[in-house]
Amino acid sequence: LHNYSTDCTQPPAFCPQFTMKMYNFPGCTILGNKLYKNSEFVRDLNAQDVQQLKQFIAENAEYQSNETAFNLENANNPEYQRAILMAGNVPVSFPGAPQPPSPPQFC
CA-CA distances (angstroms) from residue 73 to 17, 46, 67, 89, 90? 41, 40, 10, 21, 20
Looking at residue 41, what DSSP letter applies? Answer: E
- For residue 53, the tally of other CB atoms under 10 A from its CB is 21
Specify the pLDDT at position 49.
Answer: 97
pLDDT tens digit sequence for 22-53: 999 998 999 999 999 999 999 999 999 999 99
> Cα–Cα distance between 30 and 41 in angstroms, integer?
10
Judged on CB neighbours under 10 Å (0-12, 13-18, 19+), 12 is exposed
Q: Nearest-CA neighbor of 49 among 66, 68, 67, 30?
A: 30
Which pTM was predicted?
Answer: 0.71
24, β-bridge pairs: 29
Share of the chain above pLDDT 90, in %: 48
pLDDT tens digit sequence for 49-72: 999 999 999 999 999 999 999 989
Homologous superfamily of 1-45 in CATH?
Pepsin inhibitor-3 (3.30.1120.50)
